Amino acid sequence: MGHRSRPGETYPIWSDRALKSKKLLLTIAAALIFVALLVYGSHRTHFRWDILAQQTQYVRWSNILLGALLIYGAYLVRAFRWVVFLRPTKRLPPLYLLGTQVIGFTAVALLGRVADLTRPYLVARRTQLPIALQIAIYTVERMFDACSMATIVGVALLLAPNKATMPHREMAMAGAQSALVAAAALVLFAIAVRMAGEKVAQICESGLGHKFGPAVASKIRGFRDGLIAVSSGGALFQAALLSLLMWAMISGAYLFTVRAFVASPVLATMTLGRAVILMAASMVGSVVPIPIVSWFAQILVLQQTLQRFYEIPAETALACGAGITFVTFLCIVPAGLVWSRFEHISLRQVTEKSEHDAAELSNNVQA
């Protein structure tokens, strides 16, 4: 007897396939539109592709290597920081979670921001600890990253020895002060959530309405759970120091990479205070969620920043933007692909599984 459909019956396999096809088509369409706009823009601005190609002849490749090594070192620190976050729950060797970070960020680079929760999922699988705990720690990790980056950007700009001659000085100083204020606000917010997280969540839930309130309240509760999980004051302090160290290394990677383009006197003599502006701009370009398109978006944001702030020619600025994007975002991909192959991990499968588990967890919380 043939199968009869029942009211409310769904076919997850077919829906998953349709969803995957839709995502693929949207990605291809977005990439084609982006390339078309790039070609159109290059013709309108008289962009010289031959000059861009010549820039590779004047790159100091030792600087590119040093920048990449700093980024790899930052991943070591990031892996150790997650171990510190887990210390109140489970003791692990310092670099026990390195593979989860390398593979997770490789998934983000290749599949887009949809793969953000791959790292918590891989950590949960490797440590045999609940996924809910890892997602809560991931939320805390994001706060530490934002606070540390804002602190380094603000301090580097305010203490820059050449700040008097910095382009758009008033804007840069205002940005530095805003970054430090944002960092302080994040710290105060974390303290408030740790002490009265449920009350803060309820205020946001009622104050932001039915459209945004529940989602924001859920994020706050997740953040609170992460802070509670990392209940040790010593662990929080050590994580803060590791976060500052990690973002200092990332800042150094930006500086070394920019200085690699020796054909431009401005880039070859770039200071840390000026380089952190590029780091902040890069964060803006990295929020684009579409795979591959996000690479080009980040490159173009960096190119525009170099042109407008430092008056770098378009071709040189594009080459430098591409170098920064490769060093700070894409250089982890080869190691991640090899590591995932060694661990028999499919990036796409773990991304889909992490999405499913996170959605299921969210539904259980709301229920």
- 34 domain residue, yes or no: no
Distance CA 119, CA 104 (A): 5
**Total structural domains in the chain?**
1
Least trusted range by pLDDT, from 22-36, 69-83, 327-341: 22-36
Q: Does residue 13 carry a pLDDT above 90?
A: no
Q: Is the dihedral of CA 61, 290, 250, 52 positive or negative?
A: positive
Q: Does residue 324 carry a pLDDT above 90?
A: yes
CB 225 within 8 Å of CB 136: yes
Percent of the chain residues past pLDDT 70, beyond the cut: 83
Instruction: Give per-residue pLDDT as tens, 253-286.
Output: 999 999 999 988 999 999 999 999 999 998 887 7
| Helix, coil or strand: residue 160 | coil
- As a whole number, the mean pLDDT across the chain is 83
pLDDT confidence band for 11 (50 / 70 / 90): very low
- 278 domain residue, yes or no: yes
The torsion angle over the Cα atoms of residues 187, 193, 196 and 202, rounded to 10 degrees, is: 130
H or E element, residue 322: helix 314-325
Token pair for 31: 């990439």
Q: What is the pLDDT of residue 10?
A: 42
Instruction: Give per-residue pLDDT as tens, 110-160.
Output: 888 888 999 999 999 999 999 988 988 998 999 999 999 999 999 999 888
Least trusted range by pLDDT, from 38-42, 124-128, 208-212, 351-355: 38-42
Instruction: Give per-residue pLDDT as tens, 285-313.
Output: 777 777 777 888 888 899 999 998 899 98
What is the DSSP secondary-structure string of 55-70? Answer: HGGGB-HHHHHHHHHH
Instruction: Give per-residue pLDDT as tens, 147-168.
Output: 999 999 999 998 888 777 777 7
Q: What is the pLDDT of residue 249?
A: 97
Q: Does residue 7 carry a pLDDT above 60?
A: no
Distance CA 132, CA 222 (A): 9
Q: What's the mean pLDDT in 323-338? A: 94
pLDDT confidence band for 25 (50 / 70 / 90): low
Q: What is the pLDDT of residue 151?
A: 95
Distance CA 342, CA 29 (A): 33
Per the model's pLDDT, the better-predicted residue between 363 and 319 turns out to be 319
- 332 domain residue, yes or no: yes
- 2 domain residue, yes or no: no
- 259 domain residue, yes or no: yes
CB 92 within 8 Å of CB 83: yes
234 CB burial (10 A radius; 0-12, 13-18, 19+): exposed
Q: What is the pLDDT of residue 215?
A: 81
Say what the pTM is.
0.83
- CA-only gyration radius of the chain, Å: 22
Q: What is the pLDDT of residue 2?
A: 42
191 contacts: CB under 8 Å, gap ≥ 6: none
Q: Does residue 71 carry a pLDDT above 80?
A: yes
- 1 domain residue, yes or no: no
CB 279 within 8 Å of CB 250: yes
The pairs formed by 104-109 with CB atoms below 8 angstroms and a separation of 24 or more are 105/75, 105/332, 105/336, 106/332, 106/333, 106/335, 106/336, 106/337, 106/339, 106/340, 106/347, 107/336, 107/347, 107/350, 107/351, 109/329, 109/330, 109/332, 109/333, 109/336
Distance CA 154, CA 145 (A): 14
**CA 134, 139, 141: angle at the middle one, nearest 5?**
90
- 108 domain residue, yes or no: yes
Tell me the residue range of the domain where 156 lies.
Answer: 51-113+130-362
- 236 domain residue, yes or no: yes
